Chains A and B, each alone.
Chain A
C-alpha cells in the first residue's frame, strides 16, 4: 500500500442491528460474508447484498478465492447485509470461530466442547464435519494455520489440540497444567503459541511435540482477593513473524474487572517486551480482539466498562493509539475486510447493563450486538 494512501482513521458507514450477542466475528476470505460466534448458541452469517469491489466471487469451501486488490480512490460502501440462515446445533454459547485463509470455511466451537466446520456461504447449514467432544467443556479460542491445513483449539480443560481442517481428524494434543485462553500460529506455520491462565505464553512446534520456550506476559495477571484475573486474551503475530503482540488488560481489580488495555509487543526472537501500548485508564477494559491492517498497524476492539468501548488503531511499540473512536459501546470483536478498506466492529447495544429489571412491567429482553461497518480513510 502506497504510504500516502495508507489509512489513518475510520469513518462509520452504517450500523446493522442483530438479534443476538456476538463474541467474535470474521469476514470470509472472499470478503462477501461476515460470520459471527454468538451467545445464543449459533453462528450467524451475513452476506453483502452489494459486495465491495475487493470481494471475490463466492466460492466453495475447497476453492481458493483470492480477494481482489484494493480499488483506488474513494471506497465504495457496501450497501446492505442480508442475514443467511444461522448455523445451529451447538449445545451452548459459541465464543470463538476462525475462517479459512483462502476458502469459505468457518470453524466454530461451543462452550460444551463441540467443534465443527461449515461452509459459510452455503444455503444449507449442515456441517462439513463436527466433533461433539473436541474438548471437555468451554473451548475458548480457535486459530487456523496460515496455509489453512491445521486448526488449533484450546480450552478450560487445559488442552491444546491440533485438527486437520479437511476432516476434523485430531493430529496432536498437549495437556497443559492450566486453563488455556488464547493461541496463534506463527506466520510460517511452524509454531503455535498459546497463552495460559497465569499469562505465560508457551511456544510449541505446530505438531505440539514439545514446548520450545516460554514468554512472559505476567503483567496482565492479577490475584485480586481470591479471584485470579487473566488479562491475556489475544495473541497476534506481525505479518513478518518478528513481533508477537500479547494483548488484553492489565487488571486493577476483580469483580468489575477494572483494568487498562495493554498490548505488549514481544520481540519473538529474544522474548524481550518493547514499549507497551496502553489505552486510557482503568475503565477501558480489555483488548478483546486485534487485526493487522495491511498498512502495518493494528486495529483493536476495547471492551470498556458497561456502556463504553473503543475502536483504536496503533502501531506496535508506540505508547498509545493514533486513532480512537469511542462511539461504539463494549466492542467485542473487530473484523478487517480483505484488502483493508473496510472493517466491522462488533459492539453491544446501549444500556446493556443495569441492576434488576430495566422497568417495572416491561418485558425482560436479552442484549444484542450491533455490527458497525467502517470505511478506512487516509
Chain B
C-alpha cells in the first residue's frame, strides 16, 4: 500500500496532537496489563523489518530453481551453510547464510497489492470486526519504547515522511509509525530555528508543570501517551545524529552501497543502535510484471549488499542477539514468465528471510518442488509467521491477548502456531 500525500503532511504539532487524542479517547491502560507492561520495560528486544514493496521474486533471491522450467537465467550459488543455495544475485547474503533462516514454505491468501500489503503486515488474523495493527505497531504496543525514549516504531522510506496512524489499527494512533522520508524526520518535527533552545526548554518546562498538575487528578494512563509523544519528539530533536546522512562514513557507504537502500539501512543501523524498538526499512519498486530479470539484476544486488552489511554489523556489535531481523514482501512472484518477460503476483509458494534473536540461524524451513510451483510439505500462512516472530521476541502469542474496549483479541491467528523449525 503506497501512502497518499495527505498522510505525510503531518507536522510536529499534529503528530503530538494525534498521540494526545488517542490518549484522551481511550488511553493506553486498557491495552495491556501492568504485569505485561513490566515485562515490556525489561525487554531489550528490537526488530529490523525490511519491506520490499511490490514483491521480490523468490526465484531470483531465496529459492532459486536453476535450469528448471521457470528458473530464469540466473544460477544458484553455495552459501556459508553447506547444502543451502541462493540466487547468484545475492553473493553477500550467501556469506551471511549461517546467520539467516529461510522460510521457503509461505502460502498466503492475497494476490493484490491493495489488500495484500496490509493483510500481510497485520498478520491476516480472523476477522474480528476491527483492523489489526501492523507488526510494527504490535511490537510498539507489546514491548513499548526502549529506555532511549526514541519513537518505538519508525519507518525509513523514500519520498515524504510523516505519522501514519492507520498502521496501528485498533491499538489507536499512539502506536502508529513515524516515517522518515528519504531518511529525514517529518517536516516541522524539529525545533523551529526562530525559537531558541532556551525558550524551547522553558516552554517544555511549563508544559511539564501543567502535565503534572493534570496527571495528579487523573489516572496515569490518560497522560502516559501525551508525555511519551512529547518526550519522543524532544529526544528526536536531540538525536539528529542518527538520521544525519552527512555523518555516514565513506567506508560504511561503500560497504552498504551508495544506493537508497544502502543509505536507509545505515540509518536503520544507527536507529537500532540508538535504541529504536522497531525499525522498518521500506524499499519500493519491486513489482516486476515486466522485464523481471533485468529488474532483479538491478535491484537484488543493492538489497543484497545493504542487507548483508547490516547483518554483519549487528552481529559484530552484539545487537543481532537481541534484534529480530526480517526481509519480506507482500507475496512472491509467479513461476510462469509472462510475455513481457515478467513475473506476476504469487502468494502460493514463496519465501522470506529472518535472522537474529530467537531465530534458528542457518536453517531452511520448508521446500518447494522442482519448478517452484508447489510447497512440498507443510505450508505456512502469515499467521504462523506472526506467532513465530512474537515467540522470537519473547512474547507468548498463544497465551497473551490484546484487550480492546473490554474485548480480548488474540495477538495472531488463533488457529495457527509458531513454526518450531524456525525457532532457536
B-contacting residues of A (Cβ < 8 Å)? 21, 39-41, 91-93, 95, 111-112, 137-138, 156, 179, 224-230, 254-258, 285-286, 303-307, 309, 329-330, 332, 347-349, 352-357, 364-367
Contact = CB atoms under 8 A, between A and B. Distances in A.
B336 A364 contact: yes
A367 B302 contact: no
A255 B288 CA distance: 4
Interface string B273-303: 0000000000111111111001101110010
B299 A353 contact: no
Contacts of B290: 255-258, 285, 303, 305-306
23 contacts: A21-B337, A41-B67, A92-B67, A92-B75, A93-B71, A93-B73, A111-B72, A137-B74, A138-B73, A225-B284, A255-B286, A255-B290, A303-B340, A304-B339, A306-B338, A306-B340, A306-B342, A330-B340, A348-B339, A352-B338, A354-B344, A357-B348, A366-B69
B88 A137 contact: yes
A84 B143 CA distance: 66
B300 to A, nearest CB: 10
A254 B295 contact: yes
Contact of A367 (B111, B287, B339, B347): B339
A330 B70 CA distance: 18
Contacts of B286: 255
Contacts of A330: 338-340
A353 B88 contact: no
B402 interface: no
A63 B355 CA distance: 62
A353 B339 contact: yes
Interface string B309-346: 00000000000000000000000001111111110111
Given A225-B158, A285-B290, A305 B340 contact: yes
A309 B54 CA distance: 24
B57 to A, nearest CB: 12
B396 interface: no
A353 B336 CA distance: 8
A304 B290 CA distance: 10
Residue of A224, A255, A352, A364 ringed by the most chain B CB atoms within 10 A: A255
Q: Which 6 A-B pairs have the closest CB atoms?
A: A330-B339, A348-B339, A111-B73, A355-B345, A353-B338, A225-B285
A91 to B, nearest CB: 6
A307 B289 CA distance: 12
Interface residues of B, number: 47
A366 B288 CA distance: 18
A134 B285 CA distance: 33
A92 B158 CA distance: 36
Among A303, A309, A357, find the residue whose CB has the most chain B CB atoms closer than 10 A.
Answer: A357
A170 to B, nearest CB: 22
Contacts of A93: 71-73
A229 B112 contact: no
Contacts of B71: 92-93
Contact of B336 (A138, A227, A366): A366
A307 B54 CA distance: 21
Nearest to B75: A112
Contact of A225 (B112, B260, B338, B373): B260
Given A40-B69, A138-B73, A226-B302, A355 B346 contact: yes
A41 B66 CA distance: 11
Contact of B339 (A92, A228, A329): A329
Contacts of B111: 355-356
A232 to B, nearest CB: 11
Interface string B47-59: 0000000100000
- The residue in B111, B291, B334, B348 that gathers the most chain A C-beta atoms within 10 A of its C-beta is B291
B54 A226 contact: no
A257 B295 contact: yes
Contact of B334 (A137, A225, A355): A355
